Structure 1
Amino acid sequence: MFKSESILTLEENIVRIERLFDAPIQLVWEVWTNPLHISKWWGPKGFTNPTVEFDFKVGGSYRIVMRSPDGVDYPIIGKFLEITPFQSFVISDLVDEHPDEWVNEIQKLTGPIGNKELLNSKLRVLFEETDGKTKVILVTEFANNQIRDGFAKSGMKEGWSESFEKLDENALPKSNEIYIEKILNHPQELVFNAFADSESVGQWWGPNGFKTTTQSKDFRVGGKWIFNMLGPDGTNYPNVIEYKEIRQFDYMEYAHGSGNANKKDDFLVKIFLIVLEPNRTVIKMQMAFSDTNVRNAKLGIGAIEGGKETLSRLNLYLDKKANSL
């Protein structure tokens, strides 16, 4: 079993922590930038994240509330300063909402600082992939070396190491799987019916620029949906879905392939629809492929990006439908 340790080094005004993950960069990037994944792993062991707000764009804000095992909340807030997809992002890390008790404890390690704002920092997260493994490098820049040393003594390495272990265990998919998760601003039943309805599914299915045409659709266990997807470049992609399990209104499972028996390209898809609020539904798509190489090949042609675009088109379709009523 693959095992990697976190490495901490000190540079001028900087604490640098790095760790290697046994996963391609697309998967590691996803669990760092999707709030639904972040809530599964952020913070040391025993901590939960009741609030994860993540407006992942330059100038966007984030707010993560970590809750300790004894019920103390540690809000982390800031803004996204830079984003280079699949390479790095930079955030401000502000301690404005941290409890006074935490500030007092940190100052025991940093020494007197005079101004609480000096405890604010800037975090650069870098991603580097080699041979299917991804190194994540955290570069935290502090106001000065005094504060850097205080934070380093406060357990930064231990805290991040435990977070990384949770990321490995709770957020990264198995070696032959891909997970796609998104919140849709619509009731569970409407989301489910959008998958079931043969008349409307073609209006939203597929990544941006694709057109889906249904030949036949029998939405029942053992039934098949046979359709073509026309890409922006004019390439036609035959598709066949065979439904294995359907549970109204919260679960679907199906085999998805090209319909060509010689290609043996079927993969298994499980879709969970979870009620978050009356008009908000979490959709979780789990795709299992025959092996790691096939999974990685799908990642290489944009499986995660295409899946997220499809769900965004679904949300937009439901928006328009709701507005027309």
Structure 2
Amino acid sequence: MTSNFNPDESHAAPDPAQGRFATLTFARDVAVPVSVLWSAWTAPAARAVWAAPTPSVTVEFLEADTRVGGREVSLCKVEGRPDVRCDCGWLDLQPGLRSVNYEVISSEGVTQAAALVTAAFSGTQDRSRLVVTVQLSSLTADSAAGYRQGFGAGLDTLAGVARRTMLLERVIRAPRTIVWNTWMNAETLPQWWGPEGFSCRTARIDLRTGGEWLFDMIGPDGTIYPNHHRYIEVRPEERIRYALLWGENGPKHADAWAALEDQDGATKVTLGMVFSTEAEFQQAKGFGAVELGQQTLGKLERFVSAR
């Protein structure tokens, strides 16, 4: 995980008496459902929000594929210092229960540390618990201090992200290819997007990585809601990652993603949003964002069924 190691932490040569091996354990209790905490932990869009251990660190994701056998590659950047690279590989993913991954930390081509990370999840629809165990081997220096600080700060940020994450799920009785082609299609997307009674008026639409959708959502009473989606990543038939802005180049109010998975001949659609602040999330919940979001996915389901 990109948050495991803090490049701001100074690293002296290891003390032979202490050795270069350590087992670190971290635990966090968060007042969110297990499904939300799991998504915040694993979804690339959410991980990009909480990955940096401190504000002075910038994290750039080069690759992100959260599935067994998939890899995540990121760079931790601190001004005036060499980049720190984290190569992560997913070994086990049991949704809502457990994840296991390895990671290798390097800088300027020199490996600094390797670790096996096990995350265990438990809880209810109201509260979740995450316990992370890091089995660490420092190869060039004692990295335990950096891991303790970086991972601890990262998990604090993760907890905050989870508390402002909205997660919607729906199983649509149609193949994933059809659902994807209905979503990422400039002609069909505006026809079903939005809650019941809402329509879309498009100014620009370019559904690809680096593209955008600039549109007005028009409510049943004629109220106009300016929207601007900026597409950060588009992986065909797998996932979309985008930023939600209030109008053209307006302030961002959420980092969002949509993921599609095969499920017994149907397609499981997950729509997630990390709001910019917890206050915005609570305000959105207050005016019925969860119900309105489910209406949007319901319109997608009906649109697909009618085709």
TM-score (norm 1): 0.47
Q: Which has the higher helix share?
A: 1
TM-score (norm 2): 0.49
Q: Which has the higher strand share?
A: 2
Higher relative contact order (CA 8 A, sep 6+): 2
